[in-house]
Structure 1
Amino acid sequence: MTRPCRSALYIPGSKARALDKARGLAADVILFDLEDAVAPDEKPGARATLAEELGKGGYGPRMRIVRINALDTHWGAEDACAVARMDCDAVLLPKVTGPGDIDAIAALVPDKPIWAMMESPAGILNAAAIAAHPALGGFVIGTNDLAKDLGTRTTPDRAALWTALQTCVLAARAHGVVVLDGVYNAFKDAEGLRAECQQGRDFGMDGKTLIHPAQLEIANAVFAPSEAELETARRRIAAYDAAIAEGQAVAVVDGQIVENLHVETARATLAKAEAIAELESA
């Protein structure tokens, strides 16, 4: 059963109060941030604060991923060595451009899955090779940095980023890793967030990275199967099973052909709903 990653909320690693509050938030994933959310003079202290809070536990079934600073910065290597000793599920490396970057972080954090920030043109062009790395657990798309490097204009449909977004999804699906969409900056714009989540879901993303707790409810809803989708899935499975029992290879539901591939999708939909229910009841 696949672990749900509908919502992935960034939390500053330097803020003990925010780290404590995160224990009660309805996020599937907590992205504990030692990079952009922490000022340079606070970074050494943030490592200690985060290690202490993670050591206290209390985050329940949420996936705990720590984003470190890039390895070519003053803080990256020390971050990596600190995370190797932290009670977390994975380490997130920014500015990944190729599989060599995964080799470098895996040497410092050998016992945890590596997640890659996909936020540069070079990283997108090397997405398949990065996804194929045996230590890789997932992609987090950094749409703000990517747009900056590409020189694109920001539009609601994100058309300038479609190629990059879909390239990451293709690479992730080819190699069986998670892929999370970038953040939506206007955290008070609920309808804009919902539209971007729906676009990401339609593209095949597993979930959305978020910058504010107020965004959790929408992301969790959009990236979960709807009641209508669950009902359709059940009906397709039942109709197909009945057709097979009668010696037929396909079924028809609502005027549409249902083949084995549709049933596989239906079963995956039900399994996702079951995994979400299990997570939310934990």
Structure 2
Amino acid sequence: MTQAEFAPRSLLYVPASNARALEKAHALAADMLIIDLEDAVPADRKAEARGAMRAAVTAGFSGKRIAVRINGTGSPHQAADLAAVSGLALDGLVLPKVDAPTDLDPARALGVPLFAMIETPAAIYAARAIAADPATHGLIAGLNDLAHELRLPDGAGRGAMSHAIQAIVLAARAGGIWCFDGVYNAIDDAPGFVAEAREGRALGFDGKTLIHPSQVEACNSAFAPSEREIAAAEALVAAATGGAQRYEGRMIEDMHVAAAKALLERADRG
């Protein structure tokens, strides 16, 4: 399995209008950089951001997968964004506020893997159809916007969105695609970030979107198998004889062996 076939653990948004952030991104350990033309860029700097994005992608980011987040359906900036990314060698295109598969239509012709952001109640109900669309390579939980749309009070916490969060994971798995957790806003709360990243992995997400470079290393660690998990997987694979069997006081079968092997392959990526 190649590096590109593994889901990225850390997906860092980088404002296209911030030259310093683009330069700094070269040295970061993020698995994927999402060069942002949407929320991180003021309306009066959109054109400037598109030019900076094209220059940065053309120059390249050695060893990193690169995606671009464009403005969403209904935005007056989307057509210019699509023109700006045309012809670029990208690993993904992130589309915000995808409420239905038809919201993917403007980007289909580019032939780039699409990552659909699920950010509204309508998107939650349509997530399975969005994930099943052949153009969709992954779902991204847009929990800030979802919380706003749900009219949740400040400080309500992720528990208030637990059904929606699990629906995103379920839709992605039903569609056989990747899924990524939303951002953690409190950039100075390192313990809180670690807790949420670990929770995201426990919920089944492949990785997490990030808004600050300080979150990258902790995210990679949270979504990587621990030494204890690696040792347990190695022992299980070594003991497996095929079919159902008793192993350390529990029953295991081929499904558990396959999961253990997948964990070890993920650990090998570094």
Aligned positions of 1:32-51 closer than 5 A:
32-51=35-54
Indicate the residue corresponding to 2:101 in structure 1: 99
Indicate the residue corresponding to 1:280 in structure 2: none
* Other structure's SS at 2:88 match: coil
**Cα 1:4–1:114, aligned 2, differ >3 Å: closer, same or farther?**
closer
Shift of the alpha carbon at 1:156?
7.4
* Other structure's SS at 1:66 match: strand
Indicate the residue corresponding to 2:200 in structure 1: 200
| Larger CA deviation: 62-71 vs 120-129 | 62-71
Q: Is the 8 A contact 2:73 2:97 kept in 1?
A: no
> Structure 2 counterpart of 1:41, which letter?
D
Shift of the alpha carbon at 1:115?
1.0
**Deviation digits for residues 206-250 of structure 1, max 9, x if unmatched?**
011111111111110010011111111111111113xx4xxxx43
Shift of the alpha carbon at 1:200?
0.7
Indicate the residue corresponding to 1:22 in structure 2: 25
* Other structure's SS at 1:51 match: helix
Shift of the alpha carbon at 1:69?
0.7
Q: Is the 8 A contact 2:120 2:149 kept in 1?
A: yes
> Structure 2 counterpart of 1:88, which letter?
L
CA distance in structure 2 between the partners assigned to 1:158 and 1:186 by the alignment: 14
What 5-or-longer segments of structure 1 have no aligned partner?
Answer: 278-282
Indicate the residue corresponding to 1:161 in structure 2: 161
Percent identity of equivalent pairs: 45
CA distance in structure 2 between the partners assigned to 1:154 and 1:229 by the alignment: 36
Aligned residues: 267
Shift of the alpha carbon at 1:84?
1.8
Indicate the residue corresponding to 1:123 in structure 2: 123
CA distance in structure 2 between the partners assigned to 1:54 and 1:143 by the alignment: 28
CA distance in structure 2 between the partners assigned to 1:162 and 1:71 by the alignment: 26
* Other structure's SS at 2:55 match: helix
> Structure 2 counterpart of 1:70, which letter?
G
**1:152 corresponds to 2:152:** yes
Indicate the residue corresponding to 2:260 in structure 1: 266
Indicate the residue corresponding to 1:56 in structure 2: 59
**Deviation digits for residues 129-164 of structure 1, max 9, x if unmatched?**
000111111111110000000112355751111111
* Other structure's SS at 2:179 match: strand
Which of 248, 253, 256 in structure 2 is aligned with 1:254? 248
Tell me the TM-score normalized by structure 2.
0.95
What 5-or-longer segments of structure 2 have no aligned partner?
Answer: none
Indicate the residue corresponding to 1:182 in structure 2: 182
Indicate the residue corresponding to 1:79 in structure 2: 81
* Other structure's SS at 1:126 match: helix
> Structure 1 counterpart of 2:114, which letter?
I
Tell me the TM-score normalized by structure 1.
0.91
